[in-house]
């Protein structure tokens, strides 16, 4: 039925229509009734698409495929859809970031606003409950969308039996298998462990434990000054912990963050109470006692120092997750970083098996995975798809937020590209001033000759929302003049975006 939708390279591997399951209408009705009770596929069925992984990449692909009329099964072992992002990552962390910010603001930032408050107390248990309420509502929402788009949801752990068959150990017990004309691997990633420290998610934690602590630690050491580390450092610092961030590089935020922006946010987070040890490497850790001891020294060598902490957060990155997938059963291998190798259409060397999201190349970002999910289904059904990897935004949800898209100054210099810079501070923006929230800036990087925008970097209030305009500008090849000549409502924070474009093309008005 769908052979015309499958890429030519895949067709020789497709199962013949003569081998499909056939039965009388009454038998099919009974089979459907049984399946609805069992909620998993039988071995006799063949789907147009089987997806291994119900995270952001997998569930978006499943919904999109269902919308396109494909018969889809999605296998997920967690017991709830949404993957790391929705269950223990992006979504719950944003709940804690938002509510911890409100708590911190009430404690320290109401007097100047003419708001006097009495005794303010932290109810951590209720804060965690609010987080779980948000997560549960969203995961149930995805299940509803599966039903709406006729996606079969199989709860269990999938592994390849052969190139078209996935064996599933069901969560509720027992086994089944499901065959697919096409198979999509979307198994995501896991936190990278630190050698010598045993992750127990109580004393030595990853981001998963960082969103579920039952008490506020007195001292917390964060190993890794990237986005995840800094977001969790912000949450627990606001709630009362003494937080020290240890980072091997000379800047925070990771290598993608522009150096000027990195210095700006580090200064602000420092004022909020977070301590930083940059150009510092962790030599070893000892978690055998009631607390954790971390030995550090200068990255280039130097005097050792021991840091004591109640809790140590390991946030040194994430790695692709392929454990138990049975790749060896079908001859698929990973590269030296554990990523499954694919071509430009997300195909492995077995053409009907594709891979998207964290388990393959590119930034480990939920929205990147979503874009790949849609593109992969378009390749299957229409033979074309598109993701512009040069216009994938990054956001750090500290306060102020940090967001960027495109290239930073270091990358442009390394590539030998001549560029011009324009910036505008939020301290000169009327809305930021009236909100008493004016730290940060908007920074444009544009080609020196053509004025085409090459990168946009923001540190400040609402940066995560504002960067969408920057993504659109890059996607359509806009110049800084294009943005500068576009009317922005007054008074808004987005006027700082326009003024930064004006500063790049010519001169800003209000600074």
Whether residue 326 lies inside any domain: the answer is yes
Binding residues for FAD: 94, 158, 187-189, 358, 364-367
Give residue-wise pLDDT tens across range 185-211: 999 999 999 998 999 999 999 999 999
Could you tell me the CATH number of the domain that includes residue 430? 3.30.390.30
Distance, in Å, from the CA atom of 403 to the CA atom of 142, rounded to the nearest integer, reads 27
Whether residue 282 lies inside any domain: the answer is yes
Confidence of residue 44 (pLDDT cuts 50, 70, 90): low
Could you tell me the CATH number of the domain that includes residue 156? 3.50.50.60
Sort residue 318 into left (φ over 0), alpha (ψ -120 to 50) or beta: beta
pLDDT at residue 302, as a whole number: 81
Same-domain check for residues 184 and 51: yes
318-320 and 189-191: which strand pairing? antiparallel
pLDDT at residue 30, as a whole number: 35
Same-domain check for residues 372 and 424: no
Give mean pLDDT, residues 174-185: 97
Residue-number span of the structural domain to which 164 is assigned: 47-113+120-191+319-382
Give mean pLDDT, residues 397-410: 98
Instruction: Single out the residue in 281, 308, 335 at which a domain terminates.
Output: 308
Distance, in Å, from the CA atom of 511 to the CA atom of 499, rounded to the nearest integer, reads 9
Instruction: Single out the residue in 249, 278, 308 at which a domain terminates.
Output: 308
Q: Is 70 exceeded by the pLDDT of residue 171?
A: yes
Distance, in Å, from the CA atom of 117 to the CA atom of 221, rounded to the nearest integer, reads 32
The pTM of this model reads 0.90
Give residue-wise pLDDT tens across range 218-259: 999 999 999 999 999 999 999 999 999 999 999 999 989 999
Portion of the chain with pLDDT greater than 70, in percent: 91
Whether residue 37 lies inside any domain: the answer is no
Same-domain check for residues 55 and 176: yes
Confidence of residue 43 (pLDDT cuts 50, 70, 90): low
pLDDT at residue 356, as a whole number: 98
Q: Mean of the per-residue pLDDT values for the chain?
A: 92
Give residue-wise pLDDT tens across range 490-510: 999 999 999 999 999 999 999
Q: Which has more pLDDT, 115 or 36?
A: 115
Give residue-wise pLDDT tens across range 415-461: 999 999 999 999 999 999 999 999 999 999 999 999 999 999 999 99
pLDDT at residue 7, as a whole number: 36
Buried b (16+ CB within 10 A) or exposed e, 186-200: bbbbbbeebeebebe
Q: Is 90 exceeded by the pLDDT of residue 39?
A: no
What is the 8-class DSSP label of residue 323?
Answer: T
Q: Is 90 exceeded by the pLDDT of residue 37?
A: no
Q: Which residue pairs from 100-105 have beta carbons closer than 8 angstroms and sit at least 24 positions apart in sequence?
A: 100/127, 100/234, 100/235, 100/236, 100/238, 100/239, 101/238, 101/399, 103/127, 103/238, 103/239, 104/238, 104/239, 104/272
Whether residue 167 lies inside any domain: the answer is yes
Out of 4, 490, 505, 510, pick the active-site residue. 490
Burial category of 215 from C-beta neighbours within 10 Å (exposed 0-12, middle 13-18, buried 19 and up): exposed
Distance, in Å, from the CA atom of 315 to the CA atom of 225, rounded to the nearest integer, reads 8
pLDDT at residue 196, as a whole number: 87
Whether residue 417 lies inside any domain: the answer is yes
DSSP letter string over 383-430?
S-----GGG--EEE-SSSEEEEEE--HHHHHHHT--EEEEEEEGGG-H
CA angle 333, 338, 343 (to 5 degrees): 60
Q: Is 70 exceeded by the pLDDT of residue 21?
A: no
pLDDT at residue 31, as a whole number: 37
Whether residue 270 lies inside any domain: the answer is yes
Same-domain check for residues 184 and 217: no
SS3 212: coil
CB 402 within 8 Å of CB 477: no
Same-domain check for residues 404 and 479: yes
Same-domain check for residues 55 and 172: yes
In Å, what is the CA distance from 109 to each residue of 254, 264, 426, 487? 29, 21, 18, 33
pLDDT at residue 84, as a whole number: 97
Confidence of residue 45 (pLDDT cuts 50, 70, 90): confident
Whether residue 202 lies inside any domain: the answer is no
Give residue-wise pLDDT tens across range 284-320: 999 988 999 999 999 988 889 999 999 999 999 999 9
Same-domain check for residues 155 and 253: no
Same-domain check for residues 177 and 226: no
Instruction: Please say if 490 is a catalytic residue.
Output: yes
Distance, in Å, from the CA atom of 511 to the CA atom of 218, rounded to the nearest integer, reads 43
Same-domain check for residues 60 and 156: yes
Three-class secondary structure assignment of 215-262: CCCCEEEEECCCHHHHHHHHHHHHCCCEEEEECCCCCCCCCCCCHHHH
Q: What's the residue count for the chain?
A: 511
Same-domain check for residues 233 and 160: no
Whether residue 407 lies inside any domain: the answer is yes
Phi and psi (nearest 5°) for 102? -60, -45
* Number of domains composing the chain: 3
Same-domain check for residues 185 and 68: yes
DSSP letter string over 434-476?
HTT----EEEEEEETTT-BEEEEEEEETTHHHHHHHHHHHHHT
pLDDT at residue 34, as a whole number: 36
Same-domain check for residues 241 and 372: no
Binding residues for NAD(+): 224-231, 247, 317
Based on its alpha-carbon atoms, the radius of gyration of the chain, rounded to whole angstroms, reads 25
Distance, in Å, from the CA atom of 337 to the CA atom of 322, rounded to the nearest integer, reads 12
Strand partners, 204: 312
Binding residues: 94, 158, 187-189, 224-231, 247, 317, 358, 364-367
Instruction: Single out the residue in 308, 342, 362 at which a domain terminates.
Output: 308
Q: Which of 1-10, 170-179, 212-221, 443-452 has the lowest mean pLDDT?
A: 1-10
């Amino acid at each position: 039925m769908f052979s015309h939708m499958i890429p030519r390279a895949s067709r020789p591997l497709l199962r013949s229509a003569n081998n499909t399951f056939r039965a009388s209408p009454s038998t099919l009705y009974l089979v459907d009734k049984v399946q609805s009770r069992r909620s998993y596929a039988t071995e006799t069925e063949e789907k147009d698409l089987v997806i291994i992984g119900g995270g952001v990449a997998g569930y978006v692909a499943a919904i999109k495929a269902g919308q396109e009329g494909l018969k889809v099964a999605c296998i997920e072992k967690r017991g709830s859809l949404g993957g790391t992002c929705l269950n223990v990552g992006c979504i719950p962390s944003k709940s804690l970031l938002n509510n911890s910010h409100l708590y911190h603001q009430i404690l320290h930032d109401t007097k100047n606003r003419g708001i006097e408050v009495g005794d303010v107390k932290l109810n951590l248990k209720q804060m965690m409950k609010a987080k779980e309420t948000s997560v549960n509502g969203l995961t149930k929402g995805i299940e509803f969308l599966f039903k709406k788009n006729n996606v079969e949801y199989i709860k269990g752990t999938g592994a390849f039996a052969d190139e078209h068959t996935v064996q599933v150990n069901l969560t509720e017990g027992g086994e089944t298998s499901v065959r697919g004309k096409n198979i999509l691997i979307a198994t995501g990633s896991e936190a990278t462990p630190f050698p010598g420290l045993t992750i127990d998610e109580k004393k030595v934690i990853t981001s998963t434990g960082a969103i579920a602590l039952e008490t506020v630690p007195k001292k917390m050491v964060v190993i890794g000054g990237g986005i995840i580390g800094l977001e969790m450092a912000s949450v627990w610092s606001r709630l009362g912990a003494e937080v020290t961030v240890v980072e091997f590089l000379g800047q925070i935020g990771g290598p993608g963050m522009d150096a000027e922006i990195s210095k700006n946010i580090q200064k602000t987070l420092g004022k909020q109470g977070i301590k930083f040890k940059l150009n510092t490497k962790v030599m070893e850790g000892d978690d055998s006692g009631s607390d954790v001891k971390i030995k550090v020294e200068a990255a280039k060598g130097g005097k050792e120092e021991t840091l004591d902490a109640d809790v140590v957060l390991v946030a040194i990155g994430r790695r692709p997750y392929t454990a138990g997938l049975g790749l060896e059963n079908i001859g698929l291998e990973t590269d030296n970083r554990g990523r499954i190798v694919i071509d430009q259409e997300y195909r492995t060397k077995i053409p009907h098996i594709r891979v998207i999201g964290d388990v393959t190349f590119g930034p480990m970002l939920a929205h990147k995975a979503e874009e790949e999910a849609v593109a992969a289904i378009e390749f299957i059904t229409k033979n074309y798809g598109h993701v512009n990897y040069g216009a994938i935004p990054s956001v750090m949800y500290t306060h102020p937020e940090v967001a960027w898209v495109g290239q930073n100054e270091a990358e442009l210099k390394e590539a030998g590209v001549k560029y011009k810079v324009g910036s505008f501070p939020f301290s000169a923006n009327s809305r930021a001033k009236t909100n008493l929230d004016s730290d940060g800036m908007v920074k444009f990087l544009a080609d020196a000759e053509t004025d085409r925008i090459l990168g946009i970097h923001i540190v400040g209030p609402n940066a995560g929302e504002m960067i969408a305009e920057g993504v659109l500008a890059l996607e359509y090849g806009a110049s800084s003049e294009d943005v500068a000549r576009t009317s922005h409502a007054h008074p808004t924070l987005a006027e700082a975006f326009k003024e930064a474009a004006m500063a790049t093309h010519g001169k800003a008005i209000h600074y």
